[in-house]
């Protein structure tokens, strides 16, 4: 009898885990991009999502792939390509990003990585399921073939130079494919914050400085939010050297 109870409990736990992972894959996230067609669906999502090969196109819409990052930080968003026909010789290329006052983030600072899938035979936690699981992120080099009615996510990762002025930078990603003459230009918007991502050697100074700032000015958390604040665009650069924070 005890063995039967244990077996039923294990079965219930495993099915609950599968349901949770399935719900995660099917959660309503992402936005359909301008440039999406009946032949090729194009949509975006944040880099934090794991995107299954079979997830349907989102309903919400967006005009651009949007990324937010501090200076000296690398941040990404996902571009998902879902063709209805086989695509061969598919390529994606990034252009320069133009910002305030003529500032430019070079295309060399924009990486395109393709999401690859590993076959999970035995899930080890409740967040995964058997089958293809998105994880490796090799650089997209050259061309690749895309299967019909399957999602192929790409990470668009921007490394913002420390010298970049704060504000909105705009650029594009060009998609091309040889057989069906699929050529699409997608808009990319990058919001650069007015502060730097510190270098590893500065972490101790930063944490000490933030603790003192929090104690001295409890409302500082509002200033450090990652939501875009339009009134900060083009505003004064109030960043100071990390060493200055340690003296607070």
Q: What pLDDT is recorded for position 84?
A: 93
190-208: pLDDT as tens digits: 999 988 887 777 778 777 8
Diameter over CA atoms, the chain: 76
Q: Residue 101: its pLDDT value, please? A: 94
CA separation for the pair 64, 190 (Å, rounded):
10
Q: Which residues pair with 3 in a beta bridge?
A: none
- Give the pLDDT of residue 129: 80
Instruction: Kindly list the domain boundaries of the chain, sorted by start residue.
Output: 2-194, 198-245
Name 164's Cβ contacts closer than 8 Å, sequence gap at least 6: 71, 99, 103, 105, 192
pLDDT score at 176: 92
Q: What is the predicted pLDDT for the residue at 24?
A: 59
**Residue ranges of the chain with per-residue pLDDT less than 50:** 1-20, 225-248
CATH 2.60.40.10 at 2-194, yes or no: yes
Smallest Cα–Cα separation from 231: which of 171, 166, 170? 166
Instruction: Specify the pLDDT at position 28.
Output: 81
Look at residue 20 in the predicted model and tell me its pLDDT: 46
């Amino acid at each position: 009898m005890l063995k039967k109870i244990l077996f039923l409990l294990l079965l219930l736990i495993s099915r609950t885990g599968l349901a949770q992972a399935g719900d995660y894959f099917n959660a309503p996230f992402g936005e359909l991009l301008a440039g999406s067609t009946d032949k090729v669906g194009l949509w975006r999502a944040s880099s934090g999502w794991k995107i299954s090969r079979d997830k349907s196109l989102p309903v919400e819409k967006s005009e651009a792939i949007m990324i937010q990052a501090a200076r000296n930080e690398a941040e990404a968003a996902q571009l998902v390509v879902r063709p209805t026909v086989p695509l061969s010789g598919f390529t994606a290329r990034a252009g320069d990003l133009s910002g305030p006052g003529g500032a430019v983030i070079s295309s060399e600072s924009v990486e395109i990585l393709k999401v690859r899938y590993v076959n999970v035979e035995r899930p080890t936690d409740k967040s995964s399921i058997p089958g293809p699981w998105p994880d490796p992120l090799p650089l997209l080099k050259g061309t690749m073939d895309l299967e019909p009615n399957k999602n192929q996510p790409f990470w668009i990762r921007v490394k913002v130079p420390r010298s970049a002025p704060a504000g909105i930078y705009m650029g594009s990603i060009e998609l091309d494919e040889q057989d069906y003459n699929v050529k699409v230009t997608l808009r990319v918007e990058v919001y650069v914050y007015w502060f730097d991502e510190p270098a590893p050697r500065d972490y101790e100074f930063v944490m000490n400085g933030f603790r003192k700032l929090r104690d001295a000015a409890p409302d500082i958390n509002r200033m450090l939010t990652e939501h875009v604040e339009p009134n900060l665009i083009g505003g004064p650069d109030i960043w100071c050297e990390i060493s200055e924070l340690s003296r607070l």
